[in-house]
Chains A and B, each alone.
Chain A
Amino acid sequence: MNTQAERDELRSVVRSFLESAQDLAAVRTALEHGHDAKTWTRLTGELGLGAVGLPESHGGTGASLGDLVAVTEELGRLLDPGPYLPSLVLAARLLTAAGGQEDLVAELAEGRRVATFVAAADDGTPLAAREQDGALVVSGVAPAVVHGATADILVVVADLDGAPTVVLVESGAPGVEVQPLPAVDGTRPLAAVRLTDAPATVVAAGAAARAALAETLCSARIALAAELVGVAQGALDLTTAYAKERQQFGRAIGSFQAIKHRLVDVMMEVEASRTLVRRAAEAVDEADPRAEELSRLCKAAASEAALLAGKASVQVHGAIGFTWEHDAHLFLKRAMGASRLLGSARDHRQHIAALLLDGHAATLEESR
């Protein structure tokens, strides 16, 4: 595990690479044409950032979630449009947790292949698997798959005779239909994926699959929460800079309390969410029994922080913030998309309420 100083170094590697290779103008290109494949392979392969948070057995740099959240926060800050979340956070971690698949995970880490996570809902609701002529086939609809049209391999959660199963499906296989969706957040493409008796390979089944899925979703929530913290920070930075520069009534609008206080409210939520994200990542790395609870808390917090920051950004910029040409809406829309992915703030609060009110209080009690 890395120290905070090494993590800060990791952050600055990501930051300086993205600032030079993929500014917001480049992100805009991705709105039309998808992410730039060359930038993606440089980020993952050349800089080795695809290997962060994965175990060395799978070509990774060590299974530390604390390292991974340092990366995803920076990716969020500059609205990286690449498939880091689906391929490296969800698919690669699920394969790793399920066991085996070292070669495929290493290929994902190097950016040579792109995978995504496919389920009927992103809480891991399974599709249907069955045996057909001695082989396994999968059917069902995943209505909104992240980078569904980009991925060349699908890591699918399926139900096989009542047992949860993790399977692989090649995106070019027969029975795989991918229909791109008009995603609100253009920096993260979505597609509906329909499988009709698509041929599949089993990665894990039963209890192992269930545990791998739970572990992956827990870590992914935290990594995505970190991304949302980054999105919120990016929106806040953009807006703060504007508030310092924009003059009205003969002075910078950031000197007005109405603006200043709103930006401070955003900053407070960003700081508090970041603190919670780091604590949650630490809990996973330390196998703390509160990791699951903290993953939900930080996803709820960061989702709301990013939405708050995105909305404030449009408002404080005034009319220019309402234009397509200004970047404020890119942050707002990224927040709109990512805040719903892997469970909204409200979804997670429901889980927390069950912990607090439905007789599971012991878990919280132990945490004190």
Chain B
Amino acid sequence: MMKTEAGEAFRSRVRSFLDRELGEGWPGIGALTPEERAVFRGRWREALREERLLAPTWPEEFGGGGLGLAEQAILQAELVEAGVPVLPLDTDQFAFTLIGPTLLHWGTPEQKARFLPRMLTAEDRWAQGYSEPGAGSDLFALSTRAVLDGDEWVVNGQKVWQTAAQDANWIFALVRTEPGESRGRGISMLLIPIDQPGVEVRPIRTITGEDEFCEVFFTDARTAADNIVGPRGAGSKVALTLLGFERGSASGALYAGYRIELDRLVALVRDRGLDQTDWVRDRIAQAHLRLEMLRYLGERNLAGALSGAPPGPESSIIKLYESEYHAQITELALELLGDDAVAWSGEPGVAHLGPDPLGSPSSPAAWIRQFLTSRAATIYGGSSEIQRNTLGEQVLGLPREPRPVQEAR
């Protein structure tokens, strides 16, 4: 990627920060025990926050770093390469990549002043409330509803698949506030406190055997009338806006993370004496090729964002590429493990989502878990099938599937 003087100066700043904080011989967070990791995450988050690198692109008045997209991309790549998390808590991704940027765009001055600083201190920890049992890919079929009662919204319904909601104390949710309006038009985005009698969070066990995400039940749950983001009935528009945020900035981190993973896989190939086996060589070369494609698609996306060009198809393409690449590479890992891929042996893996970070074990247990967790990425955030519909319709201009007649009103 094109290097600039300012960018490289920022990179050195990040590197000296990393040297100062991590010291000599830091092996990467993946090498820590689960207990050490939990402690490190807290300490690391504080260090990032004090350096104003936790929300690098947010305005300084809210505790952000006031930096640009280019710096953010450099920062993320440097952190991942160094083996430290970009967003240390599981709830952070929802605060810093979703509701935070949404509030910066749509929020009132009061909302920004109230919520953004508390995201940085982790006094407020966020979960996302979009999907429902009856509204997955067809998000706007959602039925959780809220009615205004004096100066409060009263919320009833159920949300599902809330990653890390057991750690969260706030949820941003799409709810139906305008009965009679059809589908997308009747929806608003509300900010709802979780710690109240009307909200119940129940964990859901995933295919890895862990309680990693939740369902959230609202029974006359309450939130202040002004905890609405954007105008009433504009929730679907507000929700779609956030898909455009941070375009491209994650590309460096994405590449760095998957490169660390591929290096680990190449080491596994050597350890198992498979490095002269033809099919293995072909598949490893193919993995390298796919990863380089992902890398330059990411750089192109970032370059487009930096030059102010209107968003192209890159974001959807990258989402598909990334998730499918990860599914393929973890599948290859299990093929390399052969008969060892049938039992959870060795050190457990580290990451809940995405590739295991620097220092993580290369055990059967870790790779099996990666294989399983990689199944999630082709489902969440718009399944691969939905992404292909979007690309087919918006980029190739193919006709939409006909919809049931009652929706046409």
Contact = CB atoms under 8 A, between A and B. Distances in A.
Given A356-B266, A356-B284, A255 B399 contact: yes
A357 B282 contact: no
Contacts of B286: 349
Given A301-B293, A357-B275, A260 B398 contact: yes
Interface in A317-368: 346, 349-350, 352-353, 356-358, 361, 368
Contact of B399 (A251, A261, A300, A361): A251
Contacts of B313: 267, 271
B288 A356 contact: yes
B299 to A, nearest CB: 8
Contacts of B269: 357
A267 B297 contact: no
B392 A272 contact: no
B343 interface: no
B398 A243 contact: yes
Nearest to B393: A260
A252 interface: yes
Contacts of A244: 397-399
B391 A264 contact: yes
Q: For chain A, which range describes its interface: under 10, 10 to 19, 20 to 34, or 35 or more residues?
A: 35 or more
B399 A254 contact: yes
B300 interface: yes
A272 B402 contact: no
A77 to B, nearest CB: 16
Interface string B367-402: 000000000000000000100110111011111111
A265 B396 CA distance: 11
B205 interface: no
Given A255-B400, A268-B321, A297 B289 contact: yes
Interface string B258-275: 010000001001100001
B21 to A, nearest CB: 22
B296 A276 contact: yes
Nearest to A365: B263
A264 B297 contact: no
B285 A352 contact: yes
Given A271-B297, A271-B313, A264 B285 contact: no
B13 interface: no
Nearest to B1: A279
B289 A300 contact: yes
B297 A261 contact: no
A95 B283 CA distance: 37
B204 interface: no
A260 B388 contact: yes
B18 interface: no
A295 interface: no
Contact of B398 (A255, A273, A361): A255
Contact of B281 (A257, A261, A301, A353): A353
A294 B314 CA distance: 21
Contacts of A279: 296, 299
B320 interface: yes
Given A271-B317, A272-B297, A272-B321, A261 B385 contact: yes
Given A257-B385, A357-B281, A352 B396 contact: no
B332 to A, nearest CB: 13
Identify which of A252, A273, A350, A356 gathers the most chain B CB atoms within 10 Å of its CB.
Answer: A356
B399 A275 contact: no
Interface string B284-307: 111011001110110110000000
Contacts of A240: 396-398
A275 B296 contact: yes
A276 B292 contact: yes
Contact of B293 (A265, A272, A356): A272
Contact of A261 (B81, B285, B289, B388): B388
Nearest to A354: B281
Identify which of B281, B299, B317, B396 gathers the most chain A CB atoms within 10 Å of its CB.
Answer: B396
A79 B314 CA distance: 27
A251 B402 CA distance: 9
A353 B285 contact: yes
A267 B281 contact: no
B388 A257 contact: yes
A195 interface: no
A342 B286 CA distance: 18
A31 B401 CA distance: 40
Contacts of B297: 271-272, 275
Interface of A: 240, 243-244, 251-252, 254-257, 259-261, 263-265, 267-268, 271-273, 275-276, 279, 294, 297, 300-301, 346, 349-350, 352-353, 356-358, 361, 368
6 contacts: A257-B388, A257-B401, A260-B398, A267-B395, A268-B320, A357-B269
Given A255-B402, A301-B289, 7 more contacts: A240-B397, A240-B398, A244-B398, A254-B398, A255-B400, A275-B296, A275-B300
Interface of B: 81, 259, 266, 269-270, 275-276, 281-282, 284-286, 288-289, 292-294, 296-297, 299-300, 313-314, 317, 320-321, 385, 388-389, 391-393, 395-402
